[in-house]
Structure 1
Amino acid sequence: MRYCVVGGGISGLVAAYRLRVLAGPDAEITVFDPADRLGGILRTERIAGQSMDIGAEAFVVRRPEVPALLSELGLAGRQISTTGVRPTIYSQGRLHPLPPDTVNGIPTSAASVTGLVDDATIAQMAAEPSRPLHWQAGADPAVGAVVADRFGEQVVARSVDPMLSGVYAGSAATIGIRSAVPTLAAALDAGATSLTDAGRRALPGSTRGPVFGAIDGGYQVLLDTLVTRSRLRWVPTSIQHIAPDGTGWNLCDDEGQHWRADGVIVAVPAPRLAPLVADVAPNAAAAAARIPVASAAVLALAVPGGTPLPAQSGVLVASGEPLHTKAITLSTRKWGTRGNAELLRLSFGRFGDEIARTTSDTDLQSWALADVLTVFGIAVDPVDVRVHRWLDAMPQYAPGHRELAAELRAGLPPTLAIAGNYLDGIGVPACVGVAGRAAEAVAAATIRR
């Protein structure tokens, strides 16, 4: 059997590995990706002599996909946890503790946001359980609209927006409640009497233990292992067209070369998917074209060891603050790494702006140093700097996204599947799960034939 995987990010590499497991040692697996390296939005760099992820940096350990994959690949011993230091929120010109017991930034009590919002908002939240709740089961409004109505605009700007900006490079106004907080939406469907009640029902059964994990040595360790174990052939070119060819497929690359495959998995960002499948799955192409996307830039910053940064994992920035960055990660403090330098990550770019596309590296560095000074009161002198841009890489899970994802999958031929962060979740665990299911479907359809 011959399989082609279009896209060499984490979704494409997991798909290739799963195809190898399912189709056996004799299958030909070719991955097409024109980038300078495989991995997509997972990218590990050496910063001041230390490994640092400057794309996605962590995964939620309570989801099983990544720990299970690491264990399967013999990498369980490389999984690391955070040190336990907590993040903060920068709002109204100062740092606040991240409210405890929130569901993706949505608080479950008025007391948890004391000091972050004003007294009128606290009073509104305290009275919220007594207000009638009008909720239609199955609805998917923007999460910001629901929270603003029940808890007030300050909660949206100072607690929910900072979280969603970090995850999606979007805002509470652009993300549907079923994507942002599916457990809370399920609690509302099940008859929760208020948003406070729904939030408490949606809290994890146990909040003990770390929320996030990472890999010692960075995600590159996982990427290299997937490449080795899948025994894939990497062709550093892009595919421009996919067409039926008898019982299989014909793929044409950007140099005019043709490749035949029995099965295909397309694992590219949503904007690239639409033109690729327009002829073979026009409804899926039309749905992909309706997914809005955002761009982001990450600036990795190494400063001298001993710089007196606070003992916290980082800072999320509330909406409306006079900063350029949307988040600062104190990577050395968060993961407990040791070296001759302190490592920081600063993230820029939100849905609707052009910062990642149009701002020079020099300006991003100037903004970063100014924001570090504003937030921490520390003037830092970098010893190493790296900038990477992720253009059109952050899909926005707008209201109704679940139905849109169903449209994307409907009508696809059995031997062609899709995978990526625009389907069932933007994080690495969701991508691993989607890619595995895509490989299973294509392998089953081709092997059965």
Structure 2
Amino acid sequence: MHVIVIGGGISGLAAAQRLLTGGAEVTLLEGSSRLGGKLLAGDVAGSAAVDLGAESMLARRPEGVDLARAAGLGDALQPPTTASASIWSRGELCPMPKGHVMGVPGDPAALGSLLSPEGVERIGQDEELPRTEVGEDVTVGGYVAGRLGREVVDRLVEPLLGGVYAGDAYRISMRSAVPQLFEAAAGERSLLAGVRGIQERAARNAATGPVFMGIEGGIGRLPLAVADACRAAGADIRTGVTARSLTRAGDAAGGPVRWRVATQSGSVLSADAVVVALPAPQAARLLADEVPAAAEELSAIEYASMALITMAFRRADLESVPVGSGFLVPPVDGRTIKAATFSSNKWGWVDAQNPELFVLRTSVGRYGEERQLEREDGELTEVSLRDLHAAIGLTARPVDSVVTRWNGGLPQYPLGHTARVGRIRAAVAGVPGLELCGAAYEGVGIPACAGGGRLAAEATLASAGPGGE
């Protein structure tokens, strides 16, 4: 069975890896000059290795860690050295509250240092309010604000969701983005009671080990290691090759269905099946002729852009070394940066490679804030330094900075996203030999993408019948 995987991000690479273990012949096409998608390792100040994209993965969901181990990176997996993050709210750094589910507390007292007394009192009204029906879907911000007050959303839920989706809590689907919270809201009259139920179940089923995991040298090593393992298993991986069109030939009456992929260079490849692991806009263009219903839905998925500003400072220039792993920023305060990560504190390997440097990074850009990213690299660095000065008193100048822009980097999960994905899946289900995977569907994190790629591969293998593996 020959399968063409279109897209060399972590979803496509995970699909290729699983296809190869199932005995398939794999050709992977990546339109850009490199593999990895939003995972990118680089350096700052000429000697400090850093992640210029995603820097960690959820370890409690196993697909990402399992993929790293399968690619030979098991010994390089490292948890954060510290997870003591803060919220920079109303000009003060407040410790990240404990005991919450994506910013929603089980106990109002947990947010006492972050909220006003009126905000804390408003949370308590939840258990007296009548039930809020959530129907098929509801926005995270709208539902939580209705139950607990806007201050909880604005001061905690927004910055936490912004770190994952670069989105707007008042647009983001609770069913898609925080499904456990949606289930709690559907099953309980009180949101606080629902969150306590989530926490109790988590305590009973508590998994051992760290919540998050990184990789020594950067999480950006993961796609390269997976690609190397795939090549060793016989995969043909081609970068700089863009799929221009996708067509079927043959049918049940006239013979087996075959897929033809025409590339931008004019070559045509043929395969028994295709896995499309592209962002929604590119997938829509590729499926427009063969699966127009799926293409129409895919073209409606919006994306947010962001930039990461990575800076290295001489420790000798710092009046004091920042503490903790970093901080999140509520958008309601009108700051430019939405988060800061103190990489030298958070990752032991970053600190060990050059103890004379202190590395940190900021992020800029949320859905609807594209104008922020129209600034030049130098201006993004300067505005980050101004916000860092206001937040932690930083006055030193960096010895080097790197600005990495992720234009259209994060798919948005607005109200109704789960239903949209269902319609896309239904349209594709009627087309033999075609599977989709990627961050646009059921999750944006590394484990979700790796898991989606694996499931697409397994469905492809299963379609070959009993001899498929």
Q: TM range, normalised to the smaller chain?
A: over 0.9
Corresponding residue of 2:218: 218
**Is residue 370 of structure 2 the alignment partner of residue 384 of structure 1?**
no
In 2, distance between residues paired with 1:309 and 1:165? Answer: 26
Task: Report the CA distance shift for 1:357/1:255 in structure 2 as closer, same or farther (over 3 A).
Answer: farther
Corresponding residue of 1:417: 435
Corresponding residue of 1:196: 192
Q: Percent identity?
A: 36
In 2, distance between residues paired with 1:425 and 1:356? Answer: 26
| Number of equivalenced pairs | 444
| TM-score of the pair, normalised by structure 2 | 0.91
Alignment RMSD, CA only? 1.8
In 2, distance between residues paired with 1:113 and 1:290? Answer: 37
Corresponding residue of 1:441: 459
CA contact (8 A) 1:101 1:107 kept: yes
CA contact (8 A) 1:298 1:387 kept: yes
Corresponding residue of 1:280: 290
1:239 equivalent among 226, 243, 246 = 243
| TM-score of the pair, normalised by structure 1 | 0.94
User: Offset at 1:245?
Assistant: 2.6
Corresponding residue of 1:167: 164
Corresponding residue of 1:5: 5
SS of equivalent to 1:249? strand
1:151 equivalent among 148, 151, 162 = 148
Corresponding residue of 2:376: 360
The one-letter amino acid of 1:342's match is: F
CA contact (8 A) 1:297 1:356 kept: no
| C-alpha distance after superposition, 1:139-172 (max 9, x if no partner) | 3100100111111111111000000111000021
In 2, distance between residues paired with 1:160 and 1:87? Answer: 15
In 2, distance between residues paired with 1:69 and 1:370? Answer: 39
1:407 equivalent among 423, 429, 434 = 423
CA contact (8 A) 1:4 1:265 kept: yes
CA contact (8 A) 1:263 1:443 kept: no
The one-letter amino acid of 1:78's match is: A
In 2, distance between residues paired with 1:388 and 1:2? Answer: 36
CA contact (8 A) 1:104 1:180 kept: no
CA contact (8 A) 2:87 2:329 kept: yes
The one-letter amino acid of 1:292's match is: E
In 2, distance between residues paired with 1:106 and 1:414? Answer: 43
In 1, distance between residues paired with 2:113 and 2:71? Answer: 46
CA contact (8 A) 1:323 1:371 kept: yes
User: Offset at 1:193?
Assistant: 2.9
| C-alpha distance after superposition, 1:46-91 (max 9, x if no partner) | 2231221111111111111122223333322211011234111111
| Stretches of structure 1 lacking an aligned partner (at least 5 in a row) | none
User: Offset at 1:36?
Assistant: 2.7
1:313-352 aligned within 5 A: 313-336=325-348, 337-338=350-351, 339=354, 340-352=356-368
| C-alpha distance after superposition, 1:238-263 (max 9, x if no partner) | 11111113321111112222221221
In 2, distance between residues paired with 1:235 and 1:249? Answer: 20
CA contact (8 A) 2:36 2:224 kept: no
In 2, distance between residues paired with 1:417 and 1:243? Answer: 14
| Stretches of structure 2 lacking an aligned partner (at least 5 in a row) | 251-256
User: Offset at 1:399?
Assistant: 1.7
Corresponding residue of 1:92: 90
Task: Report the CA distance shift for 1:19/1:439 in structure 2 as closer, same or farther (over 3 A).
Answer: same
